[in-house]
Structure 1
Amino acid sequence: MTAETLRTRLEAGRPAIGAWLGIPHPLSAEAMASQGFHWLAVDMEHAGASVDQTLACFVAAERHGCVPLARLPSADPYLARRLLDGGAQGLIIPVVQSAEDWAAFSVHCLYPPHGRRGVGLSRCNGWGDRFQDYLTTFRPFLVPQIETRQGAEQAAAIAARPEVDALFLGPYDLSADLGAAGDFETAPFKAAIARVRTACDVAGKPCGIHQVAPEPAQLEARIAEGFRFIAYSTDVIAMRTALAGAASLL
């Protein structure tokens, strides 16, 4: 799959289920991708993956038809360019606060005349073998994360940007910014979530969320609630959950 097939799937109203990769090693990436996930995002924000580690994970994910994405540690346009040149099909950007901030970043992800991404021969275009096709047809799958009160208030303007493919809710950061970290039942938190989801509906964009626990029933519930771009846990959490049952025997 590519950015375009992922985009097409979502535009058809079908959910795109992926996962966060917290162990930045190609074996972990391949183990996760082999389970049939539509996308896999290397977490460069919380897991601290390097560029080299991230690119190696892209290669592993691609072997199983899984769309390779990366979550950046910040809206760094030069890191974004390196990852796209290395084969990222899309990027997830944390703490997007406004449409203006998003536009200032995303312009570096698009080639002229639509943006200011540097043009060169690199892995993304087969070191020139697919140069013209990639230059004229590739559009990265771009996802701003809404993680603050201000971001939620500006969600409609952010979602309306044409280069935005989905909005992704960051529930832990959002709840913290609203004064109750980890509490997802407060009225301000629920109101912020509703505001972001409405913004997505109006813009015709998918709304994404992290289903933290690797529980299929909870994933089904998120889909039933209308979320379509869903991160189903992480490799680390899935491994720890699978092993936790033996803790009492150790």
Structure 2
Amino acid sequence: MKNAALAQWRTGEFSVGAWINLPDLHNAETLARMDYDWLCFDLQHGLLSYSHLLALIPAISATDTTPLVRVADSSAAAIGRVLDAGAHGVIVPMVDTAAQAAQAAAACRYPPTGNRSCGPMRGLLTDGMTYLATANSEIACIAMIETAEGLANVEAIAATEGVDALFVGPVDLCFGLGIKPGDFANPAFTAAIERIVAATHRAGIAAGLFGYSPETAKAARDQGFNFVSAGTDIAFMRQGAAGALATVRGTEPRAARGGY
């Protein structure tokens, strides 16, 4: 296997992905064929299940887009299961300590580096036994920093062996800092972002951000992030539908209700 997104991060190349919340393989395949560097299938908050993942990952496997999965929790079982289904990396939520980061990293790697159990269903199907020889260096372990405790320990988390990147969920980080959700101009939030990015740079790993709009995603590059999501499948559909309707009616696009 070859993790193209991870290769970009290791060389400092900026990469752009998209977030998948809907269990529709046609949406995923369409985005993959639009040249996004990676897609993240969200099993934590998205409307997806593990069974959906078994169709979604194969749907993009004919493209160069890297499949990532945000797992529901940091357990070895949750991480190993999505890797066996073909994910090339996991985004692990609510990582608060270096010990938790180390457990997640170990769950991503086969012995002697880690403790991942052997049974890579899709890996063996696509790569045969060579998967076992390459997976440890090609699977990306991405730890989310989204709590006050995680921020307090961010330098140790970033320096944890086997962690390839840190990822910020901006709204959860707001909650963690005790500030209003979406108050991204708050000095406490901007200081936290600077600290997280600085920690990744010192550790020689990548920094990622969940972008709530193309504008915030673009700004993240100037903040020192290496990879960012440009939006979600739901948001893309909403924006496109609103723009098309406004064009036909000759009106301004109506502000859509809801988010993501």
Structure 2 gap ranges (5+): 255-260
After alignment, is 174-183 or 30-39 more displaced? 174-183
Deviations along 1:62-97, whole A, 9 cap, x unmatched?
122211110011112212111111111110011110
- 2:182 counterpart residue number: 182
Structure 1 gap ranges (5+): none
Deviation, 1:143, is: 0.5
Q: Does 1:194 align with 2:194?
A: yes
Q: Which amino acid aligns with 2:210?
A: H
TM, length-normalised to structure 1: 0.91
Match of 2:227 among 226, 229, 245: 229
- 1:136 counterpart residue number: 133
Match of 2:242 among 223, 226, 244: 244
RMSD: 2.0
CA distance in 2, matches of 1:2, 1:35: 20
CA distance in 2, matches of 1:105, 1:91: 9
Deviations along 1:154-190, whole A, 9 cap, x unmatched?
1111111121111111110000121222211222212
Q: Which amino acid aligns with 2:158?
A: A
Deviation, 1:191, is: 1.6
Is the 2:102–2:163 Cα contact (8 Å) retained in structure 1? no
Distance change >3 Å, CA 52–CA 156, structure 1 → 2: same
After alignment, is 29-38 or 43-52 more displaced? 43-52
CA distance in 2, matches of 1:205, 1:230: 14
- 1:49 counterpart residue number: 48
SS of the aligned residue for 2:161 comes to coil
- 1:78 counterpart residue number: 77
The 5-angstrom pairing of residues 7-156 of structure 1 reads 7-120=6-119, 122-126=121-125, 130-131=128-129, 133-139=130-136, 140-156=139-155
Is the 1:166–1:229 Cα contact (8 Å) retained in structure 2? no
Deviation, 1:43, is: 0.8
TM, length-normalised to structure 2: 0.88
